Amino acid sequence: MDWRPGASLDMLARRAQLLARVRAFFADRLVMEVETPILAHAGVTDPHLHNLSTTCRLPAAADPVRLYLQTSPEYAMKRLLAAGSGPIYQIGRAFRDGEAGRRHNPEFTMVEWYRPGYDYQDIVEDVEDLLIWCLGIPYCSRVRYADVFRQHAGVDPLECAIEVLRDVAVRSGLNAGAPLSRDDYLDFLLGEVVAPHLGNERPTFLCDFPASQAALARLLPGDPRCAARFELFIKGLEIANGYVELTDPVEQRRRFGCDNARRAAAGLPEMVPDERLLAALDHGLSACAGVALGFDRLLMAAAGCARIDEVQAFSVTRA
């Protein structure tokens, strides 16, 4: 029986150092560490994320209650922000059903943080400062989503016809099966054609995602075709995702509804929106920006590892 860890002990020591370094970064900037539940009553509506769930017997309930292992601590942390926490961060486990592979493990460590009052540039610079602090790099690059799609895929991701996206995708190795949605073609092209060019010289922020992929981000005031959302890439590997947060409860409710409509169309179960998050937004969440960073991926990038199981003590196949 292979009982040994997948990561070397040297790598685990490096992991511990990097964790300490991240904590020191936030301590230095007076960002408070918080812990929010992994088990919660509501899951995520995003059609591309799948909650693991379990049941829990609670003394006051007749039947066991279904609880969802969180895919990120976003909803709970926003409730803390609405309660007036000020800047907060969390280093915790996130869980995503179905995600396992060279760069994925169903449970992984996420660094997530929120900065009240930060705008788009502020939050990108905050991530850049963290990378400088942790990796000792001089600075990062910034590129716009539409620009790198034009450069590497030869398409305008915001304006071109879906047939053009499909042609380019099929020519780039997508199986020509049933038609996909516009966003699915963009996701394919980002992963297979564009991302390999990102972050090879230095960590690179991919900025201004299309509005259709805004998730919980605000749209850009100057160009509503785009969202105030960015991702960080190092050597083609997606490391972090951040945005200026949506704080409007009406718009949030609408996006939850859209998510569930897309879930239904894809034959996925609908997810009950997190009413506590919506109540917190109703109460009022002041302008803020936030980031979710995959800690295992950051360590992979820092150590030059190609596989996530090289940086985790026991990935799912060994757990």
Partner 1 sequence: MTTYSTNQFRAGLKLMIDGDPCNVLENEYVKPGKGQAFNRVRLRNLKTGRILERTFKSGDSCEGADVVDNELQYLYADGEFWHFMNPESFEQIVAGPEAMNEAAQWLKGQETCIVTLYNGVPLTVQSPVFVNLQITETDPGVRGDTVTGGTKPAKLETGATVKVPLFIENGEVIKIDTRTGAYVSRVKE
Neighbours of 2 (CB within 10 A): 7
Asked if 190 touches partner 1 (CB under 8 A), the answer is: yes
Stretch that binds partner 1, among 8-16, 143-151, 154-162, 189-197 (CB under 8 A): 189-197
Q: Give the one residue of 102, 171, 254, 283 binding partner 1; rule: CB under 8 A.
A: 102
Q: CB 86 → partner 1: shortest distance, Å?
A: 26
Asked if 100 touches partner 1 (CB under 8 A), the answer is: yes
Q: CB 151 → partner 1: shortest distance, Å?
A: 19
Nearer to partner 1, 204 or 241 (CB): 241
Q: In 3D, which of 282, 83, 124 has the Cα closest to residue 217?
A: 124
Q: CB 48 → partner 1: shortest distance, Å?
A: 6
Q: Give the one residue of 98, 138, 222, 304 binding partner 1; rule: CB under 8 A.
A: 98
Nearer to partner 1, 186 or 285 (CB): 186
Cβ within 8 Å of residue 61, ≥6 positions away: none
Nearer to partner 1, 67 or 294 (CB): 294
Asked if 231 touches partner 1 (CB under 8 A), the answer is: yes
Asked if 180 touches partner 1 (CB under 8 A), the answer is: yes
Asked if 192 touches partner 1 (CB under 8 A), the answer is: yes
Asked if 187 touches partner 1 (CB under 8 A), the answer is: yes
Asked if 210 touches partner 1 (CB under 8 A), the answer is: no
Nearer to partner 1, 238 or 274 (CB): 238
Locate 208 and state its tokens: 């201004």
Nearer to partner 1, 167 or 192 (CB): 192
Pairing of strands 39-40, 32-33: unpaired
The number of residues that bind partner 1 (CB under 8 A) is 31
Locate 5 and state its tokens: 């860890």
Q: In 3D, which of 54, 45, 40, 52 has the Cα closest to residue 98?
A: 52
Neighbours of 51 (CB within 10 A): 20
CA angle 250, 254, 258 (to 5 degrees): 170
Asked if 129 touches partner 1 (CB under 8 A), the answer is: no
- Report whether 313 contacts 5 (CB < 8 A): yes
Locate 257 and state its tokens: 């509804």
Asked if 171 touches partner 1 (CB under 8 A), the answer is: no
Stretch that binds partner 1, among 10-18, 22-30, 101-109, 253-261 (CB under 8 A): 101-109
Per-residue b or e along 221-256, where b marks 16 or more CB atoms closer than 10 Å to that residue's CB: eeeeebbbbbbbbbbebbbbbbbbbbbebeebeebb
Locate 78 and state its tokens: 């926003």
- Report whether 299 contacts 305 (CB < 8 A): yes
Q: In 3D, which of 266, 278, 253, 219 has the Cα closest to residue 47?
A: 266
Positions that interact with partner 1 (CB under 8 A) = 46, 48-49, 98-104, 173-175, 177-178, 180, 183-184, 186-188, 190-192, 213, 215, 231, 238, 241, 292, 294
